């Protein structure tokens, strides 16, 4: 029956659908194509993100002893154990110290290098390559090499000895171990943020600097009034990436210091690893991972909300 209006007993009947019209219209085909394109991403997110989060919450409510083969429901006992853990305070302090040090030195040095390498001088391409090359080097290989360099009789102290300075045992001193780990990580990843800042700097219109020079603005004033506001979206991006990465550091601690001396470099991820895979407290390790997730989520949301105050064009 065609899609026409009919009347029955003086009452207009609703139109009927044309049964000859195919189900797979162009609109439905386009929708199916879109779903098929996003299906791999949705499947990957479900299997590798959502499902692990659900399992971690489930494991945190149990005491799982792999060696004994027991898996007992304990409710919120693992969460109550957080308040009784005497090491957790020092672990959180070490995590905060590492994160603050990495974010400050990494972003500051990356921005400085980007500004210097944005100048139209000879050799800048070579230096860009040199500063970025550590990013593509294997993290473990990079850390092992620095472990040899920072030993008591390593290359760093050997260099200091040539100028008459007796260097410390960088990785075994409580005052130098955390600083050494931060420096190793800064040198490893500063090139990535440098490239991002460099791309942002090259997108700043030159007319703004020319107008500022006409008005008599100094180079420093141009930097704070023009450069920083114009690259503020990139600053937000790099800060979020660096903060999240600093909270997830593991390989550097495991290779360089193993959390020592004492617990001075035992960050939250390494402490989680110790509890779960060395002491076989998988339930408590899962609880610590929930703590890490909450911290990362809270800091990311805080940074995203604060963007309205200092990121250009945000309101």
Is the domain of 211 the same as that of 148?
Answer: yes
| Last residue in a domain, options 36, 68, 84 | 84
Query: pLDDT tens digit string along 170-227?
Result: 999 888 999 999 999 999 999 999 999 999 999 999 999 999 999 999 989 999 999 9
Residue 25 — pLDDT band, cuts 50, 70, 90? confident
Task: State whether 74 and 177 are in the same domain.
Answer: no
The reply to whether 173 and 247 lie within a common domain is yes
What pLDDT sits at residue 1?
Answer: 46
pTM > 0.75: yes or no: yes
Residue pLDDT, tens place only, 72-118:
999 999 999 999 999 999 999 999 999 999 999 999 999 999 999 99
188 and 154 inside one domain: yes
pLDDT reading at 314 higher than 70: no
**Co-location of 134 and 61 in the same domain:** no
The reply to whether 261 and 303 lie within a common domain is yes
Domain containing 196 — which CATH number?
1.10.3720.10
Q: Do 134 and 68 belong to one domain?
A: no
54-78 tens-digit pLDDT: 999 999 999 988 878 888 999 999 9
Total domains present in the chain: 2
Q: What percent of the chain shows pLDDT beyond 90?
A: 74
Tokens of residue 74, six digits: 């304990």
- In a domain, residue 20? The reply is no
Q: What is the rounded average pLDDT for all residues in the chain?
A: 89
**Per-residue pLDDT, 120:** 82
Q: What is the pLDDT of residue 256?
A: 94
Q: pLDDT, tens digit, for every residue of 224-259?
A: 999 999 999 999 999 999 999 999 999 999 999 999
- Check if the beta carbon of residue 105 is closer than 8 Å to that of residue 182: yes
Q: Could you tell me the residue range of the domain that residue 183 belongs to?
A: 89-273+287-310
| 19 band by pLDDT with thresholds 50, 70 and 90 | low
**Has residue 18 been placed in a domain?**
no
């Amino acid at each position: 029956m065609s899609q026409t209006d009919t009347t029955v007993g003086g009452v207009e009947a609703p139109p009927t659908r044309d049964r000859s019209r195919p189900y797979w219209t162009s609109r439905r085909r386009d929708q199916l194509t879109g779903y098929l394109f996003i299906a791999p991403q949705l499947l990957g997110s479900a299997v590798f993100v959502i499902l692990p989060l659900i399992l971690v919450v489930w494991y945190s409510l149990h005491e799982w002893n792999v060696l004994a083969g027991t898996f007992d429901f304990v409710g919120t006992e693992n969460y109550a154990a957080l308040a009784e853990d005497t090491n957790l305070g020092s672990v959180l302090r070490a995590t905060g110290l590492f994160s603050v040090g990495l974010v400050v030195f990494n972003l500051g040095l990356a921005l400085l290098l980007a500004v210097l390498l944005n100048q139209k001088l000879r050799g800048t391409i070579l230096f860009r390559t040199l500063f970025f090359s550590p990013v593509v080097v294997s993290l473990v290989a990079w850390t092992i090499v620095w472990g040899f360099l920072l030993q008591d009789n390593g290359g760093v102290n050997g260099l200091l000895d040539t100028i008459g300075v007796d260097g410390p045992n960088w990785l075994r001193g409580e005052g130098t171990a955390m600083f050494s780990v931060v420096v190793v990580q800064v040198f490893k990843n500063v090139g990535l943020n440098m490239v991002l800042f460099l791309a942002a700097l090259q997108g700043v219109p030159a007319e703004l600097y020319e107008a500022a020079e006409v008005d008599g603005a100094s180079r420093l004033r141009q930097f704070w009034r023009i450069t920083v506001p114009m690259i503020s979206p990139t600053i937000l991006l790099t800060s979020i990436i660096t903060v999240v990465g600093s909270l997830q550091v593991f390989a550097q601690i495991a290779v360089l210091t193993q959390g020592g001396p004492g617990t001075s470099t035992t960050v939250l991820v390494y402490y989680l690893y110790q509890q779960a895979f060395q002491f076989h407290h998988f339930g408590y390790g899962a609880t610590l991972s929930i703590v890490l997730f909450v911290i990362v989520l809270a800091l990311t949301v805080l940074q995203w909300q604060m963007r309205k105050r200092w990121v250009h064009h945000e309101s």
